[in-house]
Amino acid sequence: MPAPAAPHRLRVGLTGGIASGKSTAARAFEALHPGCLVDADAAARAVVAPGSEGLAAVLAAFGEDLRRPDGQLDRAALRQRVFADPAARKQLESLLHPRIRAWMRERAAAASTPLVLLDIPLLTEGGGRAAWPELERILVVDLPPALQRQRLLARDGIDPALAEAMIAAQAPREARLALADDVLVNTGTPEDLAAAVARLAARYLPKG
């Protein structure tokens, strides 16, 4: 007898600008489908964990002094080192991004939920759909820039100029929306967002 076919898992890429509400939306999906979230932040930490190939590659390229006494990568110092140096930043990205993608792909393949949500904050900047051909839907969390700025300021307690610079460093809103199969408009309350997530999840996974 042939082996039973693996159940289909719908792979959805979640993206949006900084402070658009991706993490809030991701938590709402997790509440509906525990275990569905494959988190890019977790991936970014895992690929430079002590003993990893990724950590060895970063230290070889950027200096052994970036290894903290506890063996962890000094991420803050690394960020500082590449902050004002686009070539170094590119080099770092070329070391990390393929590893992050591979880690997320592995996790997505191992997920047992019918819906797998890949949280990819820099999907638009990092090559878009071509870099993630396995995504069946791209879901963008969207809101007007003024509200985005306001939520970023409130969350991170940074000064307005820095908030502006962080938003300007990302892909423009229009470029993100151009990739979207689905959009979560996050202009209401967090409860509104959770309700919109529930509607979308029901649409992604019709019963029967």
Q: Rule CB under 6 A: which residues touch ligand ADP?
A: 16, 18-24, 151, 155, 186, 188-190, 193
Q: DSSP per residue over 9-34, as a string?
A: -EEEEEEESTTSSHHHHHHHHHHHST
Beta carbon of residue 20, minimum distance to ligand ADP (angstroms, whole number): 4
Q: Which is nearer to ligand ADP, 134 or 156 (CB)?
A: 156
Looking from the CA of 178 toward its CB, the CA atoms found within 13 Å total 9
Q: How far is the CB of 101 from ligand ADP (least distance, A)?
A: 19
Looking at the Cβ atoms of 22 and 176, the one nearer to ligand ADP is: 22
| Identity of the residue, 16 or 126, whose beta carbon is nearer to ligand ADP in the bound complex | 16
Least gap, CB of 160 to ligand ADP (angstroms): 16
Going by C-beta distance under 8 Å and a sequence separation of 6 or more, which residues neighbour residue 195?
Answer: none
By the 8 A CB rule, do 44 and 103 touch? no
DSSP letters spanning 153-169: HHHH---HHHHHHHHHT
User: Are 184 and 139 within 8 A, CB to CB?
Assistant: yes
Nearer to ligand ADP, 94 or 187 (CB): 187
Distance CA 8, CA 131 (A): 21
Query: 98 vs 172, which CB is nearer to ligand ADP?
Result: 172
Report the nearest approach of ligand ADP to the CB of residue 35 (Å): 19
| Cβ-based neighbour number of residue 23 at 10 Å | 18
Least Å distance between CB 5 and ligand ADP? 35
